[in-house]
Amino acid sequence: MNADDIVKFLKTFRWSTLQMMYGCAHSSIIGFVSTEWISQSKHNSILDGAPSPIIGQGRAGQKNADILLCKGNEPFIVVEVETGIGKYEEKVDSILSYLHNGKDFNGLKFGLLIMSNYAAGDLKYRHNWDSKEIKSKVDKAKGTIAFVSIEKSRIPSDNSVLGRLRSRNDYYPWEIVNIDCRVHTADRNVEGNLWNK
């Protein structure tokens, strides 16, 4: 798949569904991606908690991706979902370890990192895919990685039951307002909007 094909593929998902998910939503996003994938074809399946690309080290040092989207009898896309921007570099490494293991993961077309962009200060809930660490890894990578990045804005506080519950945790009083993607291939990068409010 080339970069344009991947952007078109990502646009087939109903990203507007995410706008009603509040909080960290890590497992909810994994469930969303899994459901969208399975609904596209009776030949699609999921390995939840993808098998590690590193064999023989027990659990220590293993990098298990969140899910592996499979088509027929082959892996198709390895997926990581990450809330905190401090772990993005680690998740890119994880995706690359799958893409570079052609023996066990033959058939993988690309890796997908879904970024929820939780951070402190001005970076909070803004696109954070331009860090020099991520760019350096992706620029050197042999393999295609797609990023889906979620932007949020603060919900005004209110005294409703849900409003009071939202005030209990810093994750809750934010709503998704924009979802963009960027696809990195060996020869080009392509960006696209997947949804905005």
Residues 146/122, Cβ–Cβ less than 8 Å: no
Nearest-5° Cα angle at 152, 82 to 185? 50
pLDDT at 134: 84
pLDDT at 135: 80
pLDDT tens-digit series, residues 97-153: 999 999 999 999 999 999 999 998 888 999 998 888 888 888 777 789 999 999 999
CATH 3.40.1350 fits 3-52+62-196, yes or no: yes
Strands 74-84 and 67-71: antiparallel
Per-residue pLDDT of the chain (197 residues; tens, 9 = 90+): 899 999 999 999 999 999 999 888 999 999 999 999 999 999 999 999 999 888 765 545 567 899 999 999 999 999 999 999 999 999 999 999 999 999 999 999 999 999 999 998 888 999 998 888 888 888 777 789 999 999 999 998 889 998 888 888 888 889 999 999 999 988 888 999 999 99
pLDDT at 61: 54
Q: What SS3 class is residue 106?
A: coil
pLDDT at 60: 52
Nearest-5° Cα angle at 118, 115 to 122? 115
